[in-house]
Amino acid sequence: MIVILLGPPASGKGTQAVALCTRYGIPQISTGDMLRQAQAAGTALGKDAARYMSAGQLVPDSVVIGLVGERITADDCKNGFLLDGFPRTQAQAEALDKLLSEKQCPLDAVLQLDVPRELLVERAVLRRTDKATGKIYHLKYNPPPEGAVLEHRSDDQEDKVNKRLDDFERVTTTLIPYYQARGLLRRVDGVGSLSEVQARLFAALPG
């Protein structure tokens, strides 16, 4: 099972990816998480990417394509994987096609999470990550346990969120007709409780 989770920032991709990956026994490949890890580890790639990320800008295609190209050769990707936050540009989508055809592994589905923009801004601005567990909470809709040490992503500040949403609408939505033309796109309503959205995603997957 090779699946792409396509959705704007704060549409719930990260949270829903965990449930999908558990169900299908496949790893979650989040380019955002990989870049944040590289940044935390202080690698040259991480430092370079941090300049773009903290400004709410996309990291250059060559960097993320390189990361994904290497990651999908790992042993745990043998039975498939879920891509969360990749591809985000036409160049990335084409590079992915090339990588998958080299592996002779077809893409099964592209799940597009639809959430209105006003809700996305509210979700991102009130989103917090538990530093110890990495779990994602929302101060209003999914409050963290008392005493949790929380982190607010610097790119989840309102001005950065708006920039990221603009980029999504301008650049990433061009991938919708790209996958639609190949009959791979499934649109899923991303508004509702975690379990409601999860059920819709499961129902949208083949088999």
Q: Is 117 a catalytic residue?
A: no
Type of residue numbered 168 = F
Q: Which of residues 16-55 bind ligand AMP (CB under 6 A)?
A: 31-32, 35, 52-53
**Residue 165 interacting with ligand AMP (CB under 6 A):** no
Contact 46, 40 (CB under 8 A): yes
| Cα maximum dimension of the chain | 49
Q: Which of residues 76-135 bind ligand AMP (CB under 6 A)?
A: 85-86, 88, 92
Q: Is 127 designated active site?
A: yes
**Buried/exposed 120-156: b ≥16 CB within 10 Å, e otherwise:** bbbbbbbbbbeeeeeebbbeeebebeeebeeeebebb
Contact flag: residue 12 with ligand AMP (CB under 6 A): no
Establish whether 36 is a catalytic residue. no
Compare residues 3 and 35 and give the one whose CB is closer to ligand AMP: 35
Closest C-alpha among 78, 83, 89 to residue 3: 83
Residue tagged active-site, from 36, 123, 128, 164: 164
Active site residues: 13, 88, 127, 153, 164
Residues that bind ligand AMP (CB under 6 A): 9, 31-32, 35, 52-53, 56-59, 64, 85-86, 88, 92, 155, 164
